[in-house]
Amino acid sequence: MLDLKQIRKDSAAVQAKLNLRSGSYDLQPILDLDGQQRNLETERSQLQARSNEIGKLVGQTIKGGGDPKGPEVAALKTEGNEVKQKLGELEPRERELKVQINDLLLRLPNLPGDSAPEGENEEDNVEVSRWGDENKPTGEKLLPHWELGEKLGIFNFERSTKIAQSRFVTLLGAGAALERALISFMLDRQIAAGYTEVIPPYLVNSDSLTATGQLPKFAEDGFKCADDDLWLTPTAEVPLVNLYRDEIIDVDQLPIAHCAHTPCFRREAGSYGRDTRGLIRLHQFNKVELVKVVSPDTSEEEHEKLVRNAEEILEALKLPYRKVELCTGDLGFGAAKCYDLEVWLPSADTYREISSCSNCNDFQARRGNIRCKVPGKKGTQFVHTLNGSGLAVGRTMAAVLENYQQANGSVKIPEVLQPYMGGKEVI
């Protein structure tokens, strides 16, 4: 959430930043409502002061010998009742204006960071680096992962449609084992890097989704329970950040670093017709998520470390990838700065996103009221939150299958995964 005081103080600068994003955002409705609310607040304060003054005057009049039932006291009481009636009318109007302002603020995205490259869409993203070009497989008959998987009998889409609907997959035999191996490997690596593993609830409430920015803007992309205020989690980022909602953390406890494996559930409402085959865009998928809660002073440094932690998984698996910094027009809703890691998929002859590593600055912390206290200093400040996939497991499996396929139709298992698969070397 953006700071209303910042919008009020320098609306032109905030609007200019929002204009760098895709979409159209107008601060004027917020400023208009804020002006109305502040006028009501001033009027209410004046009426409250007069109400207090009348109470004192009644007491002073009676104490000075005035008749408690006389006209002077009666006139003061009449005025006092009128003031209270006006106050009773103003307070709900003021509350309603605050609700309207808050709702508009919740629909505004984060401001792009000063270092984010300017651009309109993904075509303007900036490639930072590449790794593993020498590992790219060559050959004329490289199959897409869905064909490989079906020929090897390790996953099935057709029967999954019978069980659920399209864009679900059932993993079988070595496919299930490979998925489990990837999850265990990723968690082990991130725990060794200093992250504390968490197994959070897989159902989250609306307040949690609002804090991290999925609600209200992306409600259509979620799966909501019919009888409860609970949603299937779209990413472990949601429960991990919300572990600290409405809390004040001693700055000495920062940075907090968590990793978690969860199934994730998304309707992919805005992507119909895209990636309809394979493991790239499913309604249910596994992911190992990295989340950090950090001091604003170390935010940029911790972000770079998080990105590196995700890169190291790809390098250990010897999967070719590139790192891209997103331009202002392609930034996610809550991100001020973001790097995408894109893995090489030979069948498509292109790189595909496998991890987005975002620095949200204080955007989520302000929505979730997560603050830190610096010993010896007055007041508190909002923390910064960082998140990134470490990695999306299904997309990693797709990359492993395609990059490690052999001419005879088998798939070599990456060396680092073999211990997790009982020493098995080939599928």
Whether 91 is in a domain gets the answer: yes
Whether 237 is in a domain gets the answer: yes
Q: Assess whether 276 and 161 both reside in one domain.
A: yes
Residue 4 has pLDDT above 70, yes or no: yes
Catalytic residue chosen out of the listed positions 50, 281, 308, 352: 281
Catalytic residue chosen out of the listed positions 366, 367, 371, 395: 395
User: Which tens digit of pLDDT belongs to each residue from 13-30?
Assistant: 999 999 999 999 999 999
Active site residue 266: yes
Domain CATH number, residue 78: 1.10.287.40
Determine contact, residues 44/94, Cβ cutoff 8 Å: yes
Looking at the 3D structure of the chain, how many domains does it have?
Answer: 2
Active site residue 166: no
Check residue 63 and give its pLDDT.
76
Q: Assess whether 374 and 241 both reside in one domain.
A: yes
User: Which tens digit of pLDDT belongs to each residue from 125-155?
Assistant: 999 999 999 999 987 788 999 999 999 999 9
Q: Assess whether 58 and 195 both reside in one domain.
A: no
Q: Assess whether 102 and 240 both reside in one domain.
A: no
Q: Assess whether 180 and 220 both reside in one domain.
A: yes
Whether 411 is in a domain gets the answer: yes
Check residue 276 and give its pLDDT.
73
User: Which tens digit of pLDDT belongs to each residue from 53-73?
Assistant: 888 887 787 777 777 777 887
User: Which tens digit of pLDDT belongs to each residue from 235-289?
Assistant: 999 999 999 999 999 999 999 999 999 999 999 866 666 667 899 999 999 999 9
Residue 82 has pLDDT above 90, yes or no: no
End residue of a domain, out of 79, 106, 133: 106
Judge if pTM exceeds 0.95: no
Active site residue 367: no
Whether 13 is in a domain gets the answer: yes
Q: Assess whether 133 and 99 both reside in one domain.
A: no
Check residue 141 and give its pLDDT.
81
Check residue 29 and give its pLDDT.
98
User: Which tens digit of pLDDT belongs to each residue from 148-197?
Assistant: 999 999 999 999 999 999 999 999 999 999 999 999 999 999 999 999 99
Q: Assess whether 279 and 357 both reside in one domain.
A: yes
Main-chain dihedrals φ then ψ at residue 405, nearest 5 degrees: -70, 145
Q: What percent of the chain has pLDDT over 90?
A: 84
For residues 257-275, one letter each, b for 16 or more C-beta atoms within 10 angstroms of the residue's C-beta and e for the rest, the string is bbbbbbebbbbeeeeeeee
User: Per-residue pLDDT averaged across 43-62, rounded?
Assistant: 84
Whether 113 is in a domain gets the answer: no
Q: What amino acid is encoded at 266 in this protein?
A: R
Residue 308 has pLDDT above 80, yes or no: yes
End residue of a domain, out of 43, 78, 106: 106
Q: Assess whether 102 and 163 both reside in one domain.
A: no
pLDDT: is 358 or 70 the higher one? 358
Q: Assess whether 225 and 308 both reside in one domain.
A: yes
Catalytic residue chosen out of the listed positions 208, 356, 358, 389: 356
Q: Assess whether 365 and 327 both reside in one domain.
A: yes
Check residue 269 and give its pLDDT.
65
Check residue 375 and give its pLDDT.
82
Check residue 235 and give its pLDDT.
98
Catalytic residue chosen out of the listed positions 189, 266, 367, 371: 266
Domain CATH number, residue 234: 3.30.930.10
Q: In what order do the strands lie in the sheet with 248-250?
A: 248-250, 371-373, 381-382
Whether 408 is in a domain gets the answer: yes
Tokens 């790192």, residue located: 323
Whether 117 is in a domain gets the answer: no
Domain encompassing residue 80: 4-106
Active site residue 352: no
Q: How far is CA 240 from CA 110, 204, 209, 264, 389, in A?
A: 20, 11, 11, 13, 13
Check residue 79 and give its pLDDT.
80
User: Per-residue pLDDT averaged across 105-122, rounded?
Assistant: 97
Whether 116 is in a domain gets the answer: no
At 211, the pLDDT band (50, 70, 90 cuts) reads: very high
Active site residue 189: no
Q: Assess whether 189 and 89 both reside in one domain.
A: no
Q: Assess whether 18 and 96 both reside in one domain.
A: yes
User: Which tens digit of pLDDT belongs to each residue from 360-376?
Assistant: 999 999 999 999 998 88
Q: How far is CA 226 from CA 231, 232, 263, 300, 396, in A?
A: 9, 11, 20, 40, 33
End residue of a domain, out of 56, 76, 106: 106
Catalytic residue chosen out of the listed positions 206, 352, 353, 410: 353
